Amino acid sequence: MTATRDDIVDPYRPRLLYLAFYFPPTRASGVYRSRATANHFAAAGWDVTVITPQREFFRDYIRSYDPSLEASVDPRIRVERVPTPTARWERDLHRFGRLRGNFPALAARMRQRWDTLAFPEAYGPWIPGVVRRARALHRERPFDLVLATGNPHAAFGAAWLLHRLYRTPYVVDYRDSWTLDLYHDRPAFPDRSAVSRWERRILRDAARATFVNEALLDWHRRRYPTYADRMGVLANGWEPDLLGEPATTLPAPDRPLRFGYLGTMTRYMPLEEFFEGWRLARKEPAIEDASVRMYGHLGYFQNTAGQIRSVIPVDEGINVSYAGPVRKADAASVYDSLDVLLLILAGSKYVTSGKVYEYLATGKPIVSVHDPQCAAREPLRDYPLLFPARSLEPAAICDALVEAATAARSMTADDLRGARSYARRFTRDVQLAPFERDLRTLVRLGS
């Protein structure tokens, strides 16, 4: 059979090893960033290999699983699934050993100590398998660059070890902080802790370090000024290939307005505050017959679902419903069914949710409910159909809901086009393009 162009390995293409614990088919936080990054580098001409855990870990142990996402991974990407040990997450009593079965507390303490012996994180036991597989792949044909995304930050530890073995440059991409307590704005670990020592070591040897927003970048530059010149921002974005082309229909004048939230709900979100504002808003003519539809998973793991579910007042008779999780492939149809989007976020100047960008892409009115310092305010700042709650007080949320309802009833096709034009500057590819060019230059200068 004659080889096609894509079958031929171009020796001049940079070879990238991407260490991404959360990669399709998981639905865990950060998977869209890792999927988009791998796809972007493959489309830009890199030879991309991804190392990620076994599918069964996502499906059977943490139950954070969306098989529809695997089809969206560029077929040119080589995906290597290196198993992560599962003993910590095992819930089947038949698979417990004698020690754990008879002395569970003691076994848990011993497991914690063993798992963090070499690297201070529960996911540390994944590192040896990653390094073994990466070494075998490197011997086949050397990698030009290692890119690691965290959390878990075990990926950073593996990248550092590979650098020590082969001097291959590596880049660390922080989807979240490691040593910063996001919600209390203070270090999460003592300066002399194993975690802090590992972070200093990894940043010392990294060629680049990226963060999702300016606030996180500023905090890390102040904490590690010696390495500040290697740090930058790689913001999140939205994916046209997943979201599709949003519908251009405006709210029908003869039916009640539909407000809606789509995304994973967590205990950090001001859900109770939002529903207090909703109760107040229902006394206003613009809202009285409107409804709220909540879509998405209740937390990232099963043990939080009941707590979050209890906050959603579906039985109160105030037109609130919970419709459950939505596959990424079906997100566009959900957005199309809504008239006003509810951006309810956990409050911190360091937190930028990925769904902010997806909401922008719809061109619909957005009611933002979060702490005024939340980092999500940056991409939203100039969005023409934004209606932010001035605070988390019920009256402020009520005002934002009424303003958005009024705008939804009066908006035109030109308003919709203008909002979507603004959103196009935040696609994943737009955000990733300067990052890819910088790393290509880094590889070229190092070769």
What mean pLDDT is predicted for residues 315-335?
91
What mean pLDDT is predicted for residues 21-28?
93
The answer to whether residues 350 and 268 touch, using CB atoms and an 8 Å cutoff, is no
The answer to whether residues 248 and 416 touch, using CB atoms and an 8 Å cutoff, is yes
* pLDDT tens readout for residues 58-112: 998 888 888 889 999 999 999 999 999 877 666 766 667 776 666 677 766 766 7
* Rounded CA Rg of the chain: 23
Determine whether 93 is exposed, middle or buried from the number of CB atoms within 10 Å of its CB (0-12, 13-18, 19+): exposed
Which pLDDT belongs to residue 93? 67
Please provide the average confidence, as pLDDT, over all residues in the chain. Answer: 90
Would you call 365 helix, strand, or coil by DSSP?
A: coil
Res 447 pLDDT > 70: no
Most confident range, picked from 11-15, 87-91, 122-126: 122-126
CA torsion through residues 161, 162, 164, 169, sign:
negative
Which pLDDT belongs to residue 182? 86
- Give the full edge-to-edge strand order of the sheet including 231-233: 78-81, 47-52, 15-20, 145-150, 170-174, 208-211, 231-233
Q: Which of 56-60, 246-250, 300-304 has the lowest mean pLDDT?
A: 300-304
β-pair type (291-295, 320-324): parallel
β-pair type (208-211, 186-187): unpaired
SS3 content of the chain, % helix, strand, coil (to 5): 45, 15, 40
Choice between 114 and 285, residue whose per-residue pLDDT is larger = 285
Choice between 171 and 445, residue whose per-residue pLDDT is larger = 171
Q: How confident is the model at residue 342 (pLDDT cuts 50, 70, 90)?
A: very high
Choice between 144 and 107, residue whose per-residue pLDDT is larger = 144
The answer to whether residues 64 and 26 touch, using CB atoms and an 8 Å cutoff, is yes
Res 337 pLDDT > 70: yes
Res 271 pLDDT > 80: yes
Share of the chain above pLDDT 70, in %: 91
Which pLDDT belongs to residue 94? 60
Domains and CATH numbers, the chain: 14-237+427-446 (3.40.50.2000), 240-425 (3.40.50.2000)
Share of the chain above pLDDT 90, in %: 70
Which pLDDT belongs to residue 376? 80
Res 17 pLDDT > 50: yes
Full DSSP string of 157-219: HHHHHHHHHH---EEEEESS-SSEETTTTEESS-TTSHHHHHHHHHHHH-SEEEESSHHHHHH
Overall size of the chain counted in residues: 447
Which pLDDT belongs to residue 120? 93
Res 280 pLDDT > 90: yes
Would you call 292 helix, strand, or coil by DSSP?
A: strand
- Give the full edge-to-edge strand order of the sheet including 320-324: 320-324, 291-295, 258-262, 340-344, 366-369, 386-388
Choice between 353 and 157, residue whose per-residue pLDDT is larger = 157
The answer to whether residues 271 and 344 touch, using CB atoms and an 8 Å cutoff, is yes
Q: Which of 141-155, 159-173, 325-339, 389-403 has the lowest mean pLDDT?
A: 325-339
* pLDDT tens readout for residues 154-213: 999 999 999 999 999 999 999 989 999 988 889 999 999 999 999 999 999 999 999 999
Res 315 pLDDT > 80: yes
* Full-model pTM: 0.86
Res 251 pLDDT > 90: no
Res 6 pLDDT > 50: no
Choice between 249 and 143, residue whose per-residue pLDDT is larger = 143
Determine whether 139 is exposed, middle or buried from the number of CB atoms within 10 Å of its CB (0-12, 13-18, 19+): exposed
What mean pLDDT is predicted for residues 224-229?
97
CA angle at residue 424 from 419 to 430, to 5 degrees?
A: 155
Res 9 pLDDT > 60: no
CA 335/CA 119 separation, integer angstroms: 42
Q: Which of 56-70, 122-136, 229-243, 407-421 has the lowest mean pLDDT?
A: 56-70
β-pair type (145-150, 320-324): unpaired
CA torsion through residues 6, 8, 12, 13, sign:
positive
